[in-house]
Amino acid sequence: MIAMTLAEITAATSGRFEPAGTDASTETVIDGAVTTDSREVGAGGIFVAKRGEFDDGHRFAPAAVDQGAALLIVERLLELPVAQVVVEDSVDALGALATEVVRRVRAQGRLKIVGVTGSNGKTTTKNLLRTVLEQVGPTVAARKSYNNEVGAPTTMLELTEDTEFLVAEMGASGVGEIARLIRMARPDVGIVLKVGLAHAGEFGGIEKTVQAKSEMVTDLLPTDVAVLNADDPRVVPMAERTAARVVWFGLGEGADVRATDLVVHPQGTEFTITAPGGESARVRFSVLGEHHVMNALAATSAALELGVPLATIVTGLERVTLAEQWRMQVMGGRDDITVINDAYNASPDSMAAALKTLAQVKRPGSRTIAVLGEMSELGEFSGEEHDRIGLLAVRLGISQLVVVGEGARRLHITTINEGSWDGESAYVESADEAFDLVTGMARPGDTVLVKSSNSAGLRHLGDRLGEWFA
């Protein structure tokens, strides 16, 4: 975090300063990292004690002090020998502090902000942009999927006076959440990737999902840029909701930044990217899955608007070999058996994309095995969407399904009810059963996909299978 006095931090968070028995004064300067995780606190850092659904961060404040915290932001004064700022709501205070830090760094005139949202692909696009922009100047981007009311401001607080680019991943589970994040750091470039059924149960329907994702562009200024997916019929109307200049990305001829001549293989995807003005380049993209090409196009569109040359962008894209751990992560290798661990999260769109990729990378004469768990948070759409994925697996000719857990059982029922299959779908209750089944059935040359929502926990099954076949 940039250097601020305790008085400035107190004012930014609308809190009450308490020296709590230390010799710290309001003029003491703090410039350490800010975190809500006591295990991540370093010497001179700030620990924000956040109340959660199942625990209270105030319990871990003593551990944060032992780790070297110089300041606690708390909702009640604690009997600890460290300076404290007492606030009404720690999460609100975290956001307010982030807002002030962004304002101060932006006032220096160098900082450009890119906001990224969408039902799928946020983390991949953020990682691609970070790699591209780091070639040009100091860049801050979220770790992992830090995109909510806690993770996003924590990322913003990593800004320094030298930062030139902030890539802010902005997620939501309800209307108003992205708008809240944008009030902390309004983007110069706002990206909307795709609007699908991910979290539709939490949002209360697809219309609410569209409304929430639209918040990325509705408050942009005429001098800003909205980067929109020309291939998504739910994103296209957002052009009418923004005052910003619109840049379209996609596979169709109407896109400003588009990809053509796609070739998908087990090592990734090759495609030709064409920029506004007709400049083009061939990209050898190591991130597995044709659907990730759209994320590369979104990242390219934003980088071009920030003045990055196309050749530099291509170099950055080609440096990325993995979108993120547990996202189309290629593992295995023994007996030419490949394991694709894509079980960090799952929506109907990403599940379909992963199955299509599995079918595309199949080696001649070999088999495909899809280990699938529940797609969570779909609400009323859950049944029909699991049905749709089961039918898709059959139509793609996936050699063997292993369906794991009661939440995904309907997917199994649908596949066995499809008359073209006879025994190619197996149902098990647990990841351990799935491990035993897959390790017993896999043959040399097989490709195994593991895919589910995070809550199903199959990412660890993917790791086990990858290690087993290493």
Query: Would you list which residues are annotated within the binding site for ATP?
Result: 118-124
DSSP lists the bridge partners of residue 228 as 192, 248
**Continuous H helices in 19-121:** 61-66, 90-106
Residue 59 CB burial class (10 angstroms; 0-12, 13-18, ≥19): exposed
The span from the CA of 70 to the CA of 68, in Å, is 6
Name which of 95, 101, 69, 97 is nearest 83 in CA terms: 69
Instruction: State how far the Cα of 403 lies from the Cα of 346, in Å rounded to an integer.
Output: 14
Residue 420 DSSP class: T
* Residues 442, 413 contacting (CB under 8 angstroms): no
CA distance 188 to 225: 6
Residue 290 makes CB contacts below 8 A (sequence gap 6+) with 262, 264, 269, 353, 356, 357, 360
For residue 56, the 8-state DSSP code is B
Q: How many residues does the chain have?
A: 470
Question: Going by C-beta distance under 8 Å and a sequence separation of 6 or more, which residues neighbour residue 308?
Answer: 132, 133, 135, 136
- Closest C-alpha among 292, 307, 252, 267 to residue 122: 292
Any alpha helices (H) in 219-281, and if so which ranges? none
Instruction: Identify whether the C-beta of residue 358 lies closer than 8 Å to the C-beta of residue 398.
Output: yes
Q: N- to C-terminal Cα distance for the chain?
A: 41
Strand 338-342 relative to strand 368-372, pairing? unpaired
Binding residues: 118-124
Is residue 118 within 8 A of residue 234, CB to CB? The reply is no
**Residue from 43, 34, 132 nearest 90 by CA:** 34
Strand stretches in 120-231, DSSP E: 139-141, 165-169, 189-192, 225-229
Q: How do 71-74 and 46-48 pair as beta strands?
A: parallel
Residue 79, Cβ density class (10 Å: 0-12 exposed, 13-18 middle, ≥19 buried): exposed
